[in-house]
Chains A and B, each alone.
Chain A
Amino acid sequence: MKTVLLLSTYPIISPRHGGQVRVANIAKTFEENGWSVTHLAVYEPEGYPPSTLGSNDVSFPAGSSFRKYKGTYVPLINDLLSGEFAASEQGGFAEILKKLPAVIDVIHVEQPWLWPLVLKIKQLPQYSNACLIYGSQNIEAPLKLEILDSYGIKGAEPVIADIEALERKAALEADIAVAVTQADYDILKAWGAKMPLLAPNGIAPWTAKAEVLESWKARLPASPWILYVASAHPPNFKGFNECLGSSLACIPPDSKLVVVGSVCEHLESTLRDSRWGQLNLSRLKPLYMLPDDDLDAVKTLAHAFLLPIPHGGGSNIKTAEAIYSGKYVVGTESAFRGFEQHLDLPEISVARTPNEFHAAIRKRLTGPATIDGNGPDRESRESLTWARSLESIPHAAIQVIEKKAQA
């Protein structure tokens, strides 16, 4: 049995946000393909309660001197700083070392942040032959720049330069560089990746429990309504007004924009503070964070999915879920990044301007329940499941290991 060491900057015991879900599914895919998986997270303790931690996870303490970037505190870059912490003897490396399995065939790191740790482990003789996989998730430098800009954080140019250098280094040094979108794949290839691989985000098919479904049916509008599921990741709410022109007038009076996830508080405040605040609140139904059973029921009852993501790299897991549902989907071009092959489906509408968003939402919320009375064609959507979208990673790893063995 081959062994993979899977590294990330967040635990995956109770996956909530997109990054956690992807890493949890990478672990599952390796296991389903006969691998032994050791996952290790170097996490920020302020963001993850003890109940969500795995036995190998190592804390990057809030008081650590590694929380400073070149001697000063820069907000929102702890992910970048965690790499130096994890790879340093004065940081977390000693503790990490104790948790490593005796044999490692593959080190798979999600996002570039822990690449210094990967190299440090690889320097150890017993792990020197390990195959290195870099899972890029996003092209991080422009995304981080956008996030820092959106919070008005100035003077971050050196940080962005360091992130880009780290990404390029990881892409160049890894045996396999995994992209989630075709655009990211092209960038990794251009950066000199030895074996670029496209493994889009996928979904876990869901079914709702009947009693939960009934309970939500009673509480949600009887008329068709549109669902937006998102975390508090800034691109999920910062660009909302840009997409919908600050107005929810396209939602009929008896319908709602139902929102689930930690984006709710931010979105509520964004919509309330717009010029059309009262109108917007009359059309908004925030459900905040929901347990999985409830979320499954809400997704099952939705008439349409909204994907108002104007910027940001990566491919959105919520997009995969929306397409897989077979229901109407209205989203930006960016939201469909990585799923371009599905854009021809009749239930999908790509909107580029507020007018196009409004028209598409109005059409979907006042039109027939589904495009096809027989429901969606399930077979053509199976490629959207995690099992299918990620299976190329362990297969490619085996190839690399075999090639190394022959060399």
Chain B
Amino acid sequence: MTTWFDVTTILGWRRPAVGIIRTEAEAAAHALELIAAGESVKFCFYNRATGYSAVDTAEVAATLKRISGAHAAGPGKVAASSANKSSIEARLKEKAIKVLNRLPPKVSGRIYQFFQLRRVSMVEAVIALRHMRSAIKGFLKPANRTHVFTPSSVKAATAGHPFSKGDSYISVGLDWDNKDLPHLYELKKKVGLRVILFCYDVIPVRLPHLCVGDVAARFANYFTDVAWCADKILCISECTRKDLIALLEELGAPVPQTAVVKLGCQLSHELSDDISADVKALLNERFVLFVSTIERRKNHEVLYRAYTRLIDSGVQDLPKLVFVGMSGWGVGDLLADIQLDPRTRDYIRILNNVSDSDLMHLYRHCMMTAFPSLYEGWGLPVAESLAAGKYCLASSAASIPEVGGELLDYLEPWDVSAWVAELQKYAFDPAALAAREEAIKRDYKPVAWKDTAQFIFDSLK
């Protein structure tokens, strides 16, 4: 019996590794080791047009190599064998994004948001047009009963698969975008696959207002299909596990076995002396580091407000505040404020496209980090901060306290006064900060990605 590890997500990934990509990549690397040790592990890839197919280890090894150096790589073409012909909806989305990319970001962002909010109604319109076409056919040829339109019949021929009876299948990737879970469910029933799937968080359903468009309905569908497909769901925190179970119970979906897997927190890239100018300029300064996409849920706003309050009350010589991450959704006004506000102009720096090596330098040289997020499925930047031996001003929300345990004090994410007090305390009391760092260096046990990967494969046992 073979264990199949799905590498669909990393095969198509052309950018630096984010959390989910890193998880899949690290697990794939572990799978390569298992194969080398003689274990019956194979890789597979999903394509909407042709179904599942086996991927050879050389292609996976090359992909891992590409991903580990992707921060320096330019946009590349997806290997022909991995071209994922997707649904009409996905193809339309891809074409639309290509057109939008030719427009200025401010304009394209607005247009994207406009259509994203109307995504469901556009899909319904397409279905309605198909109904109309079917109705006209049925009207013209009333005797032909096969002209009844059924959306479920409009699906690609996905019969192909390399699985055998009793095999196991693991997927930890971007399954809501790349997979057809109803098809996986059919395969599971047909072949008797044992299926392990992942849950990173249930944010789109639990906090849809902090996401782009109305994603709750779409992700409720996804989590339901995950629940039907999986024999076991690996959740990345106890909080995520509880939220997932509560959601599945509310929806009425089956609740399969669940387990909590801790994600690794080592920055995999080695330090390079080739440091970018922006980062180099910061290394001689005192700064607080906040690593995260800049979006509403991450709550950069509370730090901006805390800084303005400190400055307004006459506090001087504050450390710089460095945001590392690309701009996301719902922060246009905040970014404009930061750019125009003369009080914070000299304090707040925003860096994007930072290489792993530069990020390591930033972690190493920062005074401390901050992570005021409103909700997380885990809280990788907190783990990375602790792994770098740095104290983190962390939010008390959701799973974040699971990351740092007793090593951190947790702050209510909207309580500006609490953030003001803690920033002031640690910015100007090196002894207090040093005491916290000492405790971290003594007590924090960073999770190795290897252990995460091993846990994933061991979960089949």
B-contacting residues of A (Cβ < 8 Å)?
Answer: 215, 218-219, 221, 223, 244-245, 247-250, 252-254, 256, 275-279, 282, 285, 354-355, 357-359, 361-362
Beyond contacts A219-B150, A276-B220, A277-B120: 9 other A-B pairs, Cβ-Cβ < 8 A, are A219-B148, A249-B220, A249-B251, A252-B228, A253-B228, A278-B218, A278-B220, A285-B152, A358-B252
Q: How distant is the Cα of A278 from the Cα of B224 in the complex, in angstroms? A: 11
Interface contact A245-B120, CB-CB below 8 Å = no
Closest Cβ neighbor of A253 among chain B residues: B182
Q: How distant is the Cα of A249 from the Cα of B152 in the complex, in angstroms? A: 17
Known: A215-B145, A253-B228, A285-B150. A279 touches B252 (CB 8 A): no
Q: How distant is the Cα of A219 from the Cα of B138 in the complex, in angstroms? A: 15
Cβ–Cβ < 8 Å partners of A254 in chain B: 182, 185-186, 189
Identify which of B182, B216, B221 gathers the most chain A CB atoms within 10 Å of its CB. Answer: B221
CB of A133, distance to nearest CB on chain B (Å): 44
Closest 4 CB pairs between A and B? A358-B252, A253-B182, A249-B251, A278-B217
Cβ–Cβ < 8 Å partners of A218 in chain B: 146
Decide if the interface of chain B is mainly helix, strand, loop or mixed.
Answer: helix
Q: How distant is the Cα of A141 from the Cα of B252 in the complex, in angstroms? A: 35
Contact with A along B10-46 (1 / 0, CB 8 A): 0000000000000000000000000000000000000
Known: A277-B120, A278-B218, A355-B249. A253 touches B181 (CB 8 A): yes
Interface positions of B from 180 to 208, Cβ below 8 Å from A? 181-182, 185-186, 189
Cross-interface CB contact of B224 among A219, A244, A249, cutoff 8 Å: A249
Cross-interface CB contact of B221 among A244, A252, A278, cutoff 8 Å: A278
Interface contact A278-B120, CB-CB below 8 Å = yes
Q: How many residues of B contact A (CB 8 A)?
A: 29
| B253: interface (CB < 8 Å) | yes
Known: A278-B218, A279-B217, A282-B221. A247 touches B251 (CB 8 A): yes
Identify which of B182, B189, B248, B250 gathers the most chain A CB atoms within 10 Å of its CB. Answer: B250
Q: How distant is the Cα of A285 from the Cα of B153 in the complex, in angstroms? A: 12
Identify which of A219, A285, A359 gathers the most chain B CB atoms within 10 Å of its CB. Answer: A219
Known: A215-B145, A253-B185, A253-B225. A276 touches B217 (CB 8 A): yes
Interface positions of B from 209 to 235, Cβ below 8 Å from A? 216-218, 220-221, 224-225, 227-229
Q: How distant is the Cα of A101 from the Cα of B157 in the complex, in angstroms? A: 66
| B325: interface (CB < 8 Å) | no
Known: A254-B189, A279-B224. A249 touches B217 (CB 8 A): no
Interface contact A249-B181, CB-CB below 8 Å = no
CB of A309, distance to nearest CB on chain B (Å): 18
| B446: interface (CB < 8 Å) | no
Q: How distant is the Cα of A221 from the Cα of B216 in the complex, in angstroms? A: 27
Cβ–Cβ < 8 Å partners of B146 in chain A: 218
**Can you list 11 A-B contacts (CB < 8 A)?**
A247-B220, A248-B252, A249-B220, A250-B252, A253-B182, A253-B224, A253-B228, A277-B217, A279-B217, A358-B252, A359-B252
CB of A330, distance to nearest CB on chain B (Å): 12
Q: How distant is the Cα of A358 from the Cα of B150 in the complex, in angstroms? A: 25
Interface positions of B from 245 to 261, Cβ below 8 Å from A? 248-254
Q: How distant is the Cα of A252 from the Cα of B152 in the complex, in angstroms? A: 14
Interface contact A247-B185, CB-CB below 8 Å = no
